[in-house]
Structure 1
Amino acid sequence: MKDFELKIFLIILFLSQIIAHSDFEQSNNFVSAQNFIKPNIESMTLDEKIAQMIMVRVSGKFYNQKSYSYKKIKDLIKNHNIGGIIMFYADIHGAYHNISLFQQWSKIPLLVGSDYERGLGQWMDGGTLFPSNMAIAATQDVKNAYTQGEIIAKEAKALGVHAVFAPVMDINSNPSNPIINLRSYSDLPSLVSSFGVSFIEGIQSQGIHACAKHFPGHGDTDIDSHTSLPIIKSSKKHLLENELAPFQSAIKNKVKMIMAGHLVVPALDSIGFPATHSNSIISKLLKNEMGFNGLVITDAMEMGALNSIISNDESVLRAIESGADIILLPIDEISSIQAIKSAVKSGRISINRINTSVSRILSLKEDSGLFDGLGMPDLESIGVVIGSKENISISKKITSESITLAMDKNKNIPIMPELDEKVCHLILSTDDNAKDYLKKFSNDINRTINNATEIFVNYKIDKFQIKKIVEKIQNHDLLIISSLVRIRMDKGESTIDKTHLDLLKSINNDTNIKSILVSFGSPYFENYNYFDTLILTYGYGPLSVEAVGNAIFGRANISGRLPVTLSKELKRGHGLIIKKRLSEFSIKKKYNMQFAESIIEDAINDKIFPGAQIFISKGENIILNKGFGKLTYESESAKVDVNTIYDIASITKVMSTVPLVMKLEEKKRLSINSYVTEYFPSFKGKHKEKVKVLHLLTHTSGISSYVEYFNNKNIFNEKDIIDDILNRDLLFEPAFGYKYSDLGFILLKNIIEKANRTDFEKLASNWIYRPLNMKNTYFNPDADKIIDIAPTEYDSVYRNKLIKGVVHDENTYMIGGVSGHAGLFSNAQDIAIFAKLFLNNGLWLGKRHFNKSTVQRFLTKQNLSNSDYALGWDTPALSGSSAGDFFSNQSFGHLGFTGTSVWVDRKNEIIIILLTNRTYPSRKNSGIYKVRRKFHNEVMKTLLSKNEAFPNQLDYN
């Protein structure tokens, strides 16, 4: 027993030694509630008190334990007891790890802060990123600032960050300001106040501390305090009414922290001390006159504004003398601590002065819950809260609302990609990374407008280079100019490069090209007359870049308004409102379709079909969108209207199988020249190895047309059908004959699923119908849709009931209602969207869904054997076509067995959709062929030019 106890003791001793030498004393959450007890100021040493006033830089990147950075941070925390850290560049889990580790090292919990002006995403991938303050103000909705603050605070809290050094409360009253600019909400004090206060309220609603900056106002300067010391020359009266007003609002609304800026303001400090060093500005004005009793933190003491004029140690001492509580980022932390200690001992700084600041700091930490086991990083919350789908969705919405159309002289917005054939995208920036920042926008342009030219100018240019660029641009229809001016420290830029402006002037003077300038960054330009259209994003973050693409192509509303005044014409509050394109169709011109309509009405009276749904358009003009007759011949039957749904039978081929093959081709997962044997290796013998996807699409594969599998007692499922198709002999050698084949499209459905390893129905919905907002197109309709569906037939052979709301085709029904040849339900309006997509060469509502070359290839007649088919689509036969006699040779279309058809004339931009349930009550009903031809001919006669040569007499017999 004693031996056993000894062994246990030795094991415990061994484990305790391992734990003692580990950086992580807590294996679970690193830090427990018991670790921290709020210290009594009286019991703290002078060194400990002073160290609480120091905040140092850390990152969330990996630190090797032998590295200088790791050893330095550990020494500052463990041996010098610094009070806080500010987190910069990081990945989320790295930040979690490092904050947890640093807190575990600390005797008194660390105050963790960060510059999350635009959210965690500003500093780390995965966090939510918001647009700039100026963009937030452009939305005109202060609730957006509150929501932004709330989300930032929630994400910061999950990471263990307690203080957010935001918002910027500076008024951007100087357009030449190279560091505030977009970071300001506005040039109007009341706007800055209202948006800034809302942000503060959002931050502090979650128990996180907001910090208004840069007191007493950094907006009215053209100097960056990161490099030099700005001087604000305004009078005190002006400052009180303008620069100081937002800070007064923040104080009134109980902001917890205020950051002092490195600014000389003679009207507030006659000696000329920077605000950070000025007792007159910090203690007398901010605390005594304005009533701020919270915590004052300096701006980074390492910045050039101070260290270029004074030593680090003296700068730190003057900041404390001015009334600052936290010294942010001194150049030398240990030297700073020693300098403060010496100043206290010499009597220059009183111990009471130190105690006052330390008391505020400890109270702030207490408010963060740091002495109650709260305020620590929470791994579980990190995975749920940071960068959540909901947060990003809100940020996207806010970003979209910020896009501002300041000017549009020639109504270039929205861009109609189908009209502007030759487009040039000119990127102007002096930033080497501009092309990377704008990559998503460039890709959007190139995707939407195939073969757009791109010119990137990221250097100063001379007159000769300007001339060369203008020559390249001249032969285009539309010029999209992306101007990116980054507002960042040490850059010193606030507007477009002068030589780039000269280029814009030359383009304006020497060409007639339509021009759209998109400003990614600073909205300020010397001259706004050098372009037709001006769109402002107020930033170059990925969400802004994405949002402006949606805006210019009409995919989103444009509703932003200028939060700053740019010129006499472009004043604060101005902004053109553009509604997104909800449809490619409109009713602009009326045609007399009375005779064409009478053909349909006569057919209903002759019981060729009980009802019909018709859609006709020419260009963007809807000629007819109407229902005729009823769902059935019964007197109590509902009338057909534009919402009636039809089983479109074989139109399924071109509305599901064909576009999915196109998508897979563009994704390089399938080719029309792929052999069937690549997907079905058993498909061999007697020319089978020669069958390509191309042959299946053109009905030249030699595969049989149709087999009644539903009547075969040995066929039970789709696999059995596929096996039978694969084992059948071909009717002819591929490409040397024509036989319309449903079986070939049954194979295609399975090839598509194998190529993408995804369910066919899901692919069609996700890739085609949902992106096009085709809400009435689907396989296997839900029960609540059945009331709107036209019945197809009384099935007396297989199902022995009225077929309504389930697929008419028996083979498709047998395999679950989804096939490559049948099964789709839709209405004329949805089919019109799909037809217009092809008429527009792959574009719908400003978004490209297929490459132009892909669409044109699939609509081109393949001229294989006796087939009139393009790739999946039918084309008009030389005689007797269901399209009638007047569709051009650039037309395409398809029929469905149930009495449905769609025909599109590319040359004349005409779409005619005729949906009927001619199979009701029996498929034996005939007459649809003659009616369809007659109807098409009368419509085309009406729509085409009167000068078109028409036969004097038409034979419909």
Structure 2
Amino acid sequence: MPFAPQLASSHWVDSVMKTLTPDQRVAQLFMVAAYSNRKRIDEDSVSTLVQQYGVGGLIFFQGGPVRQSKLVNRYQSQAKVPLLVAMDGEWGVGMRLDSTTRFPYQMSMGGIRDNQLLYTMGQEIARQFKRLGMHVNFAPVVDVNNNANNPVIGFRSWGENRENVTEKSYQYMKGMQDAGVLAVAKHFPGHGDTDTDSHLALPLIRVDQRRIDTLELFPFRSLMRRGLGGVMIAHLNIPALDSTGMPSTLSKPIVTGLLKQKLGFEGMVFTDAMNMKGVISKYPPGDADVRAILAGNDILEFSRNIPLALRMVREAINKGLINQEEIDTRCRKVLALKQWAGLNHYKPINLKNLYQDLNTPHANYLTRRLSELSVTLLRNQNKLLPLQRLDTLRLATLTIGTKDTTFFQRMVADYAPVQHFWLPATASLNELTAMRETLKPYNTVLIGVNNLGSLPATNFGVTPEVNVMLHELVGQKQKMIVSVFGNAYSLSRIRDLDRADAVLLAYQESQNAQEVTAEIIFGGLGATGKLPVTVSSRYPIGAGLTTQGGIRLAYSYPEAARMNNNLEARVDSIVNGAIAAKALPGAEVLIARKGVVVLRKSYGTHSFADAPAQAGKSSRPVRNTDIYDLASVTKVSAALPSLMKLQDEGKFNPDMTMGQVFPEFKGTNKNDLKLRDVLTHQARLKAWIPFWQNYVKKDGTLRHRFFHADSSRRYPLPVARNIWARKDFPARIHKAIGGSPLNDKPGYVYSDLSFIMYPAFVQAASGQTIDQFAQQNFYKPLGATTLGYNPTRRFPLARIVPTEYDSLFRKQQLHGTVHDEGAALLGGLSGHAGLFADANDLAKLVQMYAWNGRYGGQQLIKPETLAEYERCQFCPDNRRGLGFDRPATNPAVNASKNASQSSFGHTGFTGTYWWVEPKEDLVVIFLSNRVNPTRRNNKISSLNVRTNILQVAIEAAQKVGKASVESAVPKE
């Protein structure tokens, strides 16, 4: 329930009042500034004010959550009456404290249409306040910002429309107060139409009373009617309300006459900081404090000199200027607020798990979601966005204003191959000319304008050089997409935006804002934001285009896909347990639901620290961009999609025979084998053939006529480091497969042999090698940069995760070359093994399967073809689809107990795995190198690591419950 001044007559308030001297009652009206990032002498000075003078409260500024909480506990233990603790947390505690959640600025959210999310934000901010032992938030800012040159409000306001400001402020306010934290609307009677910073001087408001009543006071009046608990008075000179020139904080006509009497506000009235030049430039400390009390304020914030202020207030009381009864009434009101906040049952802050309790998955999701709804698309010529046909684009990013790789650039790289470039905001003409030449090979350039400012006096950080750069770059034959990571008003200072092909406004430079902007560009998300202010005639309030989302993967948190927020913790437990058990040195997990990547996390290291290959050196931590040997996952990630594509083209179908597909098998025992039986592993083919054993001597050394230390026309096939194989190995292996016997008995036997042959068929049918065919038809359209064979040709070795130490054949640590011996003899190019990828790029291919062959707006495989390959062909005797694996009778083999019979996927010998659960719209990918340092380690299977992760993912989807962020509807 909202704060009620009636609590001032409660038993607890009465009992405390009896213990306070008249001077201590005055002290209860003061809140002093505190910091958790300053020296011990500063902390001790606050202790003195608490112990010696009995101040009523604290307002915390910069620092950290643990340090601040320790100080709060210290100060509370020293206080005779529990202290009221406050903060300016307009965008949450992260506005002041490091390592905590920072919600978007109010103006960033001014154009979102789902106001109910702001109620949820208010609740979450209040939860964090209470966890930190705080009771009052000096928020929301309800100023209607109708002056683009406002130097102090600007991005802190919801915008220029009074109704929009009011409704958003109400939701934020009610969310906080319903959760037990007092909301303080500011800055009364309205700070939105100023061109002076009240921190530096006293702003003059040059409008009449009617305008103030209909515009500035509109949000305050509405919120007061609906339970607003607190109001902060601004330092303003408003002749229409007080002709004396008195700062509004010290003005009785404004504080008492207008706020308390005319508007009837009975809640808590706070001054703005009493150390600001807007008040003390004319009225020095002490004098200003007396005048603030005379004006009718209940609590004075950040008084510059507490001992002086208390002495001068006492003198004013003694002189009869201030009535002690009025002091007592306000003291009771302060105590009533303390009781409302629960301080009558004060408990110290528990420091255990403080960081985790503040940075919850829900908090992370909520700030991400608010950013998603905020980013505004202002220009989109010829519906360029979301970008289509990635295989036709030559992408570059250009960041103006910073020399470091930005979050925006990293997210762009998650979607497509791209080259990054940078220019300073004050680039020289030579630098600009050179950059223009550098960008010429690219047909699409994504420009990010970064490191902007918030002040109109500095042109919002838009330098003349920035405008010269944009003038020279936009309007060329290339497609230019400009993203502005800064204040909305900065758009009016950036020239030539109307010549760009697309323009996006992200409002700020946070990680969320930058990543979300990239997601909108590529269609992971749709654009929905609207401008909350008028920037120019071209970009008026309400401007904002919409685009389609969900055509590519998006990135968020479990809550975004209606999954239980304990998902990450449960996956952490499984993977960290597997690493501790030495089942694998490291791994990456990616889980997506409804096209949203909700978990993408790496664990462990590339190798065990005690592995022989690691002697004397530390192993590299696994990163999300690391590339893994996919082993048998190659079958369903290269060979199988190629076959399906050829079937769509009428060049293949599973009812053909091996003799029809492979001419060399005519007249052999493979001639009449149907591909439907072959692809379901029931065609009596041998499981595998150890081809390599025919090419080593009895002592295990390589037969030199088949291998060479250097590549040449005769030895072009890479087998391992400094080992190159003869070019006739593919023919030799194909011949060996053709001559191999069939199994004596029919039935299911998992076999590599046909998949070794499919690249030859793909080349014969398409004229391209399998890597070329897969790249052209799948990996490039998907933007899957890392998916491919022989990764050392494209990526540094440090990015590739090592596999086994091969002690039998190649006698070396395998790193960057395929683990499978048969695929190695084929130069790493096979249909059964040889493919490498990182989890993100593999997820694009798997999501394409989950989306019935469609991704990025392109139908890459016909839905009916994919459906045929996914379904069980010979159930119940054989679980397999065509190439795809499906749940086994024993769920520990390949799926989990909750996996449906419509689910499908594949496992890889090196410890890789992906699985699709259509019933939950779920994709699970697990990449590891469990064969490092030896394949004899099979703990990954005995511990059911991969299937357990699938199980917790399914449970997280099934057990999420009915409640969600969007359903949290406030009740008046």
Contact 1:665 1:671 in 2 (8 A): no
Contact 1:256 1:295 in 2 (8 A): yes
**1:392-403 alignment runs, 5 A limit:** 392-403=364-375
Aligned equivalent of 1:514: 479
Contact 1:150 1:206 in 2 (8 A): yes
Aligned equivalent of 1:868: none
Structure 1 CA distance, aligned partners of 2:534 and 2:123?
29
Structure 2 CA distance, aligned partners of 1:231 and 1:508?
42
Query: Which residue identity lines up with residue 487 of structure 2 in the other structure?
Result: S
Contact 1:92 1:124 in 2 (8 A): yes
Query: Which residue identity lines up with residue 552 of structure 1 in the other structure?
Result: I
**3-state SS of 1:495 partner:** helix
Contact 1:158 1:386 in 2 (8 A): yes
Contact 1:176 1:494 in 2 (8 A): no
Aligned: 1:41 with 2:17? yes
Aligned: 1:342 with 2:396? no
**1:65-104 alignment runs, 5 A limit:** 67-104=40-77
Shift of residue 481 of structure 1? 3.3
Aligned equivalent of 1:361: 334
Shift of residue 776 of structure 1? 5.5
Aligned: 1:768 with 2:768? no
Deviations 1:466-511 (A, max 9, x none): 66766666665344333346666x8954634351464256326884
Query: Which residue identity lines up with residue 519 of structure 2 in the other structure?
Result: N
Contact 1:648 1:826 in 2 (8 A): no
Deviations 1:645-673 (A, max 9, x none): x999679899999869959996956759x
Query: Which residue identity lines up with residue 523 of structure 1 in the other structure?
Result: A
Structure 1 CA distance, aligned partners of 2:797 and 2:13?
62
Aligned: 1:51 with 2:22? no
**3-state SS of 2:62 partner:** strand
Contact 1:275 1:281 in 2 (8 A): yes
Contact 1:485 1:493 in 2 (8 A): no
Query: Which residue identity lines up with residue 789 of structure 1 in the other structure?
Result: R
Shift of residue 407 of structure 1? 1.8
Where do 5+ consecutive residues of structure 1 fail to align? 1-35, 429-433, 585-590, 614-645, 703-733, 753-762, 778-784, 795-800, 820-824, 832-848, 850-957
Aligned equivalent of 1:215: 188
Structure 1 CA distance, aligned partners of 2:438 and 2:814?
47
Structure 1 CA distance, aligned partners of 2:196 and 2:463?
18
Contact 1:228 1:305 in 2 (8 A): yes
Query: Which residue identity lines up with residue 31 of structure 2 in the other structure?
Result: M
Shift of residue 452 of structure 1? 2.7
Aligned equivalent of 1:318: 291
Shift of residue 48 of structure 1? 0.9
**3-state SS of 1:85 partner:** strand
1:568 maps to which of 533, 537, 555: 537
Shift of residue 149 of structure 1? 0.4
Structure 2 CA distance, aligned partners of 1:693 and 1:499?
48
Shift of residue 43 of structure 1? 4.9
Deviations 1:695-754 (A, max 9, x none): 65684756xxxxxxxxxxxxxxxxxxxxxxxxxxxxxxx98xx99897xx6xx99xx9xx
Change (3 A) 1:284 1:816: closer
Structure 1 CA distance, aligned partners of 2:152 and 2:100?
24
Structure 1 CA distance, aligned partners of 2:449 and 2:811?
57
Contact 2:207 2:240 in 1 (8 A): yes
Aligned: 1:196 with 2:196? no
Structure 2 CA distance, aligned partners of 1:808 and 1:336?
78
Query: Which residue identity lines up with residue 130 of structure 2 in the other structure?
Result: K
Aligned equivalent of 2:703: none
Contact 2:871 2:882 in 1 (8 A): no
Aligned equivalent of 1:455: 422
Structure 1 CA distance, aligned partners of 2:250 and 2:25?
21
Shift of residue 278 of structure 1? 1.0
Contact 1:223 1:492 in 2 (8 A): no
Deviations 1:575-607 (A, max 9, x none): 1111125269xxxxxx99999389888989999
**1:632-781 alignment runs, 5 A limit:** 679-680=805-806, 683=807, 688-689=811-812, 694=817, 696=819, 699=822, 768-769=842-843, 772-773=846-847
**3-state SS of 2:339 partner:** helix
Structure 1 CA distance, aligned partners of 2:799 and 2:240?
73
Change (3 A) 1:94 1:509: closer
**1:904-919 alignment runs, 5 A limit:** none
Shift of residue 348 of structure 1? 2.6
Shift of residue 443 of structure 1? 2.6
**3-state SS of 2:107 partner:** helix
Change (3 A) 1:521 1:541: same
Contact 1:425 1:481 in 2 (8 A): yes
Aligned: 1:185 with 2:158? yes
Structure 1 CA distance, aligned partners of 2:830 and 2:447?
51
Query: Which residue identity lines up with residue 99 of structure 1 in the other structure?
Result: V
Change (3 A) 1:648 1:517: farther
Structure 1 CA distance, aligned partners of 2:369 and 2:792?
29
Query: Which residue identity lines up with residue 462 of structure 2 in the other structure?
Result: D
Structure 1 CA distance, aligned partners of 2:392 and 2:830?
37
Deviations 1:844-891 (A, max 9, x none): xxxxx9xxxxxxxxxxxxxxxxxxxxxxxxxxxxxxxxxxxxxxxxxx
Structure 2 CA distance, aligned partners of 1:406 and 1:830?
44
Contact 1:504 1:530 in 2 (8 A): no
Aligned equivalent of 1:619: none
Aligned equivalent of 1:622: none
Aligned equivalent of 1:114: 87
**1:236-385 alignment runs, 5 A limit:** 236-373=209-346, 376-379=348-351, 382=354, 385=357
**1:829-908 alignment runs, 5 A limit:** none
Shift of residue 150 of structure 1? 0.7
Query: Which residue identity lines up with residue 233 of structure 2 in the other structure?
Result: A
Aligned equivalent of 1:541: 510
1:481 maps to which of 429, 439, 447: 447
Aligned equivalent of 1:893: none
Contact 2:57 2:83 in 1 (8 A): yes
TM-score normalised to the size of structure 2? 0.61
Q: CA RMSD in A?
A: 4.8
**Percent identical:** 24
Query: Which residue identity lines up with residue 424 of structure 2 in the other structure?
Result: V
How many aligned residue pairs are there? Answer: 675
Query: Which residue identity lines up with residue 468 of structure 2 in the other structure?
Result: L
**1:484-503 alignment runs, 5 A limit:** 484=450, 492-493=457-458, 495-500=460-465, 502-503=467-468
**3-state SS of 1:547 partner:** helix
Aligned equivalent of 1:443: 410
Contact 2:790 2:817 in 1 (8 A): no
Query: Which residue identity lines up with residue 287 of structure 2 in the other structure?
Result: E
Aligned equivalent of 1:899: none
**3-state SS of 2:528 partner:** coil
Contact 1:776 1:826 in 2 (8 A): no
Query: Which residue identity lines up with residue 24 of structure 2 in the other structure?
Result: E
Change (3 A) 1:601 1:112: same
Aligned equivalent of 1:414: 386
Shift of residue 568 of structure 1? 2.7
Change (3 A) 1:610 1:257: same
Change (3 A) 1:454 1:693: closer
Structure 1 CA distance, aligned partners of 2:883 and 2:846?
23
Structure 2 CA distance, aligned partners of 1:651 and 1:60?
67
Deviations 1:184-232 (A, max 9, x none): 1120111111110111110000111000001111111122212222111
**3-state SS of 1:144 partner:** helix
1:596 maps to which of 650, 670, 675: 650
Aligned equivalent of 1:151: 124
